[in-house]
Structure 1
Amino acid sequence: MRCHSFLVWNTLTVIQWTLEAVDVMLLDTSDSTTELGWRVYPDTGWDEVSVLDDRKQLIRTFEVCNINLANQNNWLATPFIQRGSASRMYVTIRFSVRDCGSVRNVASSCKETFTLYYQEVDSEQEAEQNWAIMVADAEARGSWVKIDTIAADKSFSQVEQSQPHQYQPNRRQRVNEKTRSFGPLTRKGFILGFQDSGACVSLIGVSLFYRKCPETSRYLAVFPNTPSGPELSALVQVAGTCVEHAQPQAANPPKLHCNADGDWMVPVGSCECKAGYEAGQNGTSCTACALGHFKFEAGASSCTPCPNQSRTTTDGAAKCECRSGFYRSPDDKPDAPCTAPPSAPRDLYWENEGSSLILRWRAPSDLGGRNDIHYNVLCKVCPPAAPPGSNAPPPVCLRCTEGIIFEPSQQGLSQTRVKVSNLLPRIHYIFQVQSLNGVSTLSPLPPKYLNINVSTSQAVPSQVPMMHQVSRTPDSITLSWPQPDEPNGEILDYQLRYFDKSGDEESSVLLTSETNVATVHGLISGTIYAFQIRARNEMGFGPYSGKLYFQTLMEEERAEAVQNRLPLLIGSVMGGMAFLLVGVILIFITLVRSKRRESPYSDRLQRYISTRGGVKYYVDPSTYEDPNDAVREFTREIDPAHVKIEEVIGAGEFGEVCRGRLKPIGKREITVAIKTLRSSCSDTEKRSFLNEAITMGQFDHPNVLRLEGVVTRSRPVMIITEYMENGALDAFLRENESQFSVLQLVGMLRGIAAGMKYLSEMNYVHRDLAARNVLINSNLVCKVADFGLSRFLRGDDESLPSYTAALGSKIPVRWTSLEAIQYRKFTTASDVWSFGIVMWEVMSYGERPYWDMSNQEVISALEDDYRLPAPPGCPGALHALMLDTWLKERSERPGFEQIVSTLDKLIRHPAGLKTVATHVSRPSQPLLSHASPDFSTITSVSEWLDALKMGRYKDEFSKAGITSMEIASRMTLEDIQKVGVTLLGHQKKFFNSIQLLRVHLNRGQVEV
């Protein structure tokens, strides 16, 4: 049922809201009793009269009945009506029509219809003007728009018309009611017009209205009253406004659609109550969660009681706060119960296992309500206590040195045991086992722990690292091996055991040797044997090494060797003579070519030098007169039909860089990176482009980018290399900040250092070593790449070959050593400096070296001995190595071989990575060995400092009152720092030496 509200035509109505459509009435003449004053043309046409309705009340109507006259054109028009917000209007007409069949002699001119029009205008004045135009020319319809021709369904006779102004029941029963709509309306208002062409018509009532969808609240959203659309089939989309404490669904904000009949339909989306609120019972509002309840996210869910050990203090809580002493870890969901740190471990004890010990314990009795229990093991070393009655201060226990190994690890243990190795003999240790869980770091109290004291005896030797075959015969093999890394005293002898690989290990034969060389006799020719070696000191045998396999010589191989010995001798003599002759010829060629061109290196002489002494050296492509010779010699031509470019992944200096596939005949297809040369490049640019391929083609190392081949015989010219999935190292680290352990980062650095060691051994300087020029694959293997600035090292100084760049050459200042910046002189030592910057980039996850300092500011700072500080969380050992690579004197910097060795030690003994570096603004000295001097020959602090190569600190020790070895033995790490030893590497060296000094003093081996 529709709800109507009536008023005079020139006012707006007050809308009564219901859930059904609302008709907004703009004009209704049904109850009008006063003169309406509509426009009429001509005067003899429509006539406004008053009649009695069925309630015997007067109403105003319009009538026309000129059926006796032909060609009638009678117009009736309403005043100007404002449309408001409506874009489509509805008109309901109640009228009666006389039956033309009841009238004689007028059948041809009589009508039973009239026509309905409307005209859009912006004001009453415009309506008057348009009406005047039509009056002047009755045939001119102007801007009238026809709505419809209205025909009667029922009509009355002439007898019923005899008393037109009186109530006539029969006539009322023949009243017609028609409803029509018109639009779309775009101007401020309109006029409604009625045209009579010869009918006998009475307009009993005209109702003009538009329809609205009423204001409603659904799906936790309020939708305003909305006029229907301009077309009958139109749906007006209306966005809802969420009720208080509600929000739209992320992908589905609330919408309803208003149809032409004023009905809401097609709901889309909805609102949802915010965190801390739930939908009310009627579903039209959001109410706050009661005290002790919460709702942690927006949605349709209801409030729930607080989980264990948590509470709320106000209504409308999005989460429950933990009670005192209870916490949630960052990984816990907001609706998880609050938990506490665990109690201490139980029943800690230890047991010997060879030269190591096993610590065992039981889980805590109280896990704090969590299952993510783990353990940390702390280690302290304590000097012997002072004798009773002495005035010596009580001994201070210090953290254990980095050499101690915890297996499987020292921190984050999930099991209740750990193996501890590399303990010093005759030392008192304290081990502390802490129990932690996911909320231990949130508690202000330290983790609960359990202590145990362990005093070690002298340890057995560590494992012999390797063995080498010196020689072999059909019945013997001679082997050698190095001393164990940790002999733990004097090595008395070695025990070698061996057995036939095809036999049983139980049949092993033992052989003892007092030296590190042994010959095993009585073997079978052509047989493979497995060998293991172990060392013995006064405490016993250490563990056996891993199995290594060696094969004896075949009898026929020895016979053949004997037969070939004489020709080989003759050949050696002749070869030597030929070698001398070739040398003379090459020297002659060199002298001749030196007159032809400035470079002293010919291609042949360069190739001869590159393999002198059995060591391969890099060949500079610029030494070739014809670069195509170098391309043929050092690269592999690839059939372009075997190359498929799939995607452009970047831009290079000379063209695009693409990812593609390479499918050589008879081999599996692989993913490759493809550099293409633009067709517009000059010959000089093409030569520069191919020089990089010539350079890469000479390298073969797992940490140097591998060249697959080139395409030079078709267009485009291409360089094809292995594909590195993770791209440039600096960008990869920035994208994955804090995602790797320190050990993984050190592994990346070790790979880069190994690649640079290989390049330096080939007398090759990179000149542009930076993290952006290192590529990393999906297995986190780093490979040195981008050889655009690389050069062959040459010079008179054989101990430190160099390359001098021309004036104006490109120099990457932030990665370049001082001497290379100042004198353009590049050496392997300058590459070492660059590697130190790469270390800093890696440990800072791709941070820009020297941040936003300009190049000139960087140069000035380096000249003032400023060096980059340790990145956050960087181990002290790594920063000390960085500082070594940045020493001003290039001869004092470590070589890549030393760097690789240092990184290998840190990887094998990761405990050295636990100590985080402090800020150091000046460069350190090179990393020093941790070996301690022979205290039996030292009688003073001065001699001790000289033996440690720390004589620079003599004045500082003297001023601090460290005048005897006994006083020195009582120094702690804080005392070392107070004396003035600020460099981390030096602090470690002093600390390690002091520990051993205490042991020697305790055993009476040093005379104080």
Structure 2
Amino acid sequence: HHTHEPFILCFFFQWEVVQKTLNGSQLYTYSICNVGEREQDNWLRTTFIQRRPSASRVFVELQFIVRDCNSFGASSLTCKETFNLFSSESDADVGTTFRKGQFKKVATIAPDEITGKKELRINTETRVVENLSLKGFYLAIQDIGACVALLSLRVYYKICPATIQSLASFPETVAGGENQALREVSGECVENAISEGLPRIYCTVDGEWVVPVGQCQCKPGYEETEDACKECLPGFFKAEASSGKCEPCPANTQGLDTGALFCPCMDGFYRAPTDPPTGPCSGLPSAPRDLVATTSHLSVGKLLLSWRPPEHTGGRTDITYSIECLRCEGPVCQSCGEKIRYEPANVGLTLTKVTVSELDAHLNYTFTVEAHSGVSAFASQAMPQAHKLPLTNPPKITSMRLVKQNPTSLSLSWEVSPKPRVQARPIRYELTYRKKDDNLDVTTYTVLILEKNSVQIPDLSPGTAYLFRVQALGSDGSPGGSSIEEQYETLSEGHLAHNNTAVISGAAIGGAVMLLIVVIVLFLHRRSVLFFFLNEQLKPLKTYVDPHTYEDPNIAVLKFATEIHPSHITKQKVIGAGEFGEVYRGILKVPGRKEVAVAVKTLKPGYTEKQRQDFLSEASIMGQFAHQNIIRLEGVVTKFKHAMIVTEYMENGALDRYLRDHDGEFSAYQLVGMMRGIAAGMKYLSDMSYVHRDLAARNILVNNTLECKVSDFGLSRVLEDDPEGTYTTSGGKIPIRWTAPEAIAYRKFTSASDVWSFGIVMWEVMAFGERPYWDMSNHEVMKAINEAFRLPAPMDCPSAVYQLMLQCWLQDRSKRPRFGDIVSLLDKLLRSPESLKAIADFDPRVSIRLPSTSGSDGPPFRCVPEWLESIKMSQYGENFTCAGIVSMDQVMQMKNEDIKNIGVRLPGHLKRIAYSILGLKDQTSTLIL
């Protein structure tokens, strides 16, 4: 996924090209080692690197060696063990012109391994340069007093390579940046493939394709072979566009050409009009055998004809028989005419016998029995052997009747004559209806095309008369005879209420008696009953049921979720991509309800049944919850091709990103209010015996009133009995930074482990979405927790809030507070805002940077850019430089007004910089905030 740009390095000030021998190989490096001199500022710049227009994000990989400052002895007082990476954009090559002010800092580069006196240790570090927009750029290395050798500098960007997925071809695409994490790419179906919609896919920032949408399928006559569509071989066919393979020609057919849509019949074999074109062909039946006529002396003029079925049926089962009678007088024979009677009939017989009566005495009769099948008509007609349905006249509608009526719906059925026989496709009916309205200029007609002779019509107005007309359609879509126009009326709502009066009256009487009993009990036992009611009011009325305990998961979906018709959902735009497909913002308009904004999770095409069940299981979980701080499930779509989960729409998205975008804009009181909402939702889940297992700020959604709601209920299903589930699930790794130690080590997931996670969420909220444990690896996090390390208090965090966090992170899970206790404590803090004024101790050297491992007690930062980067305020580096503040001593003399004067205006940024300066100064500092 890497594309490299060639360049060379230009050196300015002090850098030297040095030849070294490493592992027996000669190599050249750029080196500098002025560790004994003060105020070093040495630069090494690349030549102009042209940028591909769509590559706005590039990666810089550096290989380098840094000497241990301790190895220089007394001369190491000013020695550094880091250097800086800078970048500068330009639309043209400026040659050797070099101005430091045009460069902005990308990162401070620190070695993982420091080289001592004996063994060389090579470090490799990669950094990202974002938001490039001009024609090219320069990179520069700044040395501020280290002994460093640069072995290589590699620049590349990531691409999603050209690919073919689901028979759709997608071009090579440059991966987007952080502001475009998913880049949508449209593709084209490969040759001889088609798709209902435009195939699309997403390119991630890591150069990987995800979530293909819109599957291409091979055209009729073609099958999929290695990402291409190949013609069916002779002797094979494919009738429809699908992902299936070509099928062998059925019996009595022949396939002589490639790319066949169907196989024509062999000579002497035929398909009936009702046979599918993909089925076998049939021959004509042979003659019936052993025709016998039996007379009775008791019944004059009557005989019984019987025979055996034909020896060969032609491969068909729809064999019928017809009887032809000739009456002969001498040499002259003529048809017996209508005088003769047959029981049960003389045509269309399925039995092998018939009774003939009303015969005249002393005459010769000749009876011929002929066998027929669905292809017999082809014996005397030169018709093409390709399957064609003849155009038939549709039957006429003889009557219409009302089956059921409600205030908002009517059920109708109708009779047809003659009744249709079984055929390849059912007769279709056109039903037209309208309100009975004298003002015909504004009358609205509704037309339905139906394949059944019955229908239920919903969404009607109560107490309203409607006029209905129905007609049958022929096989070519032509209308048949219409019925008379019938009028039916929906019930009024008052009528329905009248029918329920007795029930309501009975309920009212029962309720009055119950109320009287309650009043008496309250009078006698006021305290105990009041306590009972208060507790019952707070306790959910049901317990969570795991949908995976159902033998058929589809039953769980139907039990806990409401089915929505897809016509009620309007998808507007993609707002994300989940494990199973795209997530849309949309509108839900259910008849009789107000239109609401919703989030629509979709299931991508080509899913397996297990994926569909996993996808819908989240809806089975959400459907059991009803709380204002739990994301609300609107319903599901399961009975149609494209499954969907529909939830309420949260305008401000995920909590962590929302807080990062509004850093410093909320007071501690507002942040505690957000925590209280999350805790209330978790208390509800805990009371229902539900363990979330993935509680984190990224799984909390925020609406436009800043109300927080718990979401994402997909993780719990994976870890129940899976011995490997401690670290790996279908959704990726367990979130180590948010998970309690006993859950990581022993899979002990309980409400107490959710409480630990809630403590991490509190920290995220107070730190405005900062990543817990910063850049520490998962292994380092687990090791630190086991050694009793806990996250320090975020900047400006109330002491009471931080103490609650520490209670949530107690090693012994039995000593952690319950969610009910947490809600009570947060309520108490919100009722007494003055309790939030006492601020917990804040040390920026610990809470913003990784803990130092050097053992040095000296200043934590060697220069202003390094300090600004550590508190994630590097964008103000130029402000400090222009104001002449270039040393940490000058920074520590700054006051609040000084910070404002250099151009820091945002309250959150102002506070972050000011508190960091306060942490750097002595505890007796008089800095006024």
Normalising by structure 1, what TM-score?
0.34
Structure of larger gyration radius: 1
TM-score, normalization: structure 2?
A: 0.37
